[in-house]
Amino acid sequence: MNKRLMILDLICYGAIPFLIWNYGREPLGDDYIAILLSTVPGFVYTVYRFIKEKQLNILGLTIITSLLLSTIINLLSTSAINMLWNQVYLGFAEGIVFLLSTVIKKPLALYFAVDLAYLQGHPRKNSRALYKAKGLFIWFQLINLLFTLRYVATNSLKAFLVQSFGAEGYGKVIIYMNICSWIFNGLLFLGFIIVSNKIAQYIKRSENKTQDFPVSTDV
């Protein structure tokens, strides 16, 4: 992730929502409306990134589904405190989805990697076969568990903050949730770097074996 995207993420997911909540809450006179409006910049920005980067299939479907569900839940919530608790429940549900995908050995992290490789010009079929190879697949399982831990940790933190400060402490929720999310984003980024190195080493070993045992073409 380059610096420009990091800055945009901080602005759209952190700074603008915080400003809307901090300075719009009193004029609006309703915590629920203020929190609802604070989610709009992140929603618009995520849709913009989705369209611009052309993220498709499993990765894109996951992003759009998460956006739609969170938006529906926000709109259907009848109060600010209900909205915050519903967001926590949704976050735990998403974590369960990642956990189940690990248990059934269909880690979403692997399919995310396949989609990203496709955007770089690699056929999905080839990438899937490569990533499921012995010695590589386990790493995608581990990254998938890290995704699960991310949802559990961030939403446990959110639940604690909501329980401790209520809707009035939404400003603290924004700040601490962004810090927690960036920590896990960094860990996930590091995880994918490690997997990329493992893939490169695997390909190199495979090429060396092919050179050591050339296939005869004599008739």
pLDDT in tens, the chain (219 residues): 456 766 877 787 778 888 887 787 778 777 788 878 888 887 788 778 777 766 556 776 787 778 778 888 888 888 889 989 999 999 999 999 999 999 999 999 999 898 888 767 788 888 999 999 988 999 999 999 999 999 999 999 999 999 999 888 888 888 898 899 899 999 999 999 999 999 999 988 887 776 654 444 443
- In degrees and rounded to multiples of 5, residue 191 shows phi and psi of -60, -45
State phi, psi for 34 to the nearest 5 degrees: -65, -45
Model-wide pTM > 0.85: no
Q: Are 73 and 83 in contact (CB under 8 A)?
A: yes
Contact 182, 103 (CB under 8 A): no
d(CA 130, CA 199): 8
Six token digits for residue 183: 């920590």
Nearest CA-CA partner of 22 in 171, 142, 169: 171
Helix %, strand %, coil % of the chain (to 5): 85, 0, 15
d(CA 194, CA 196): 5
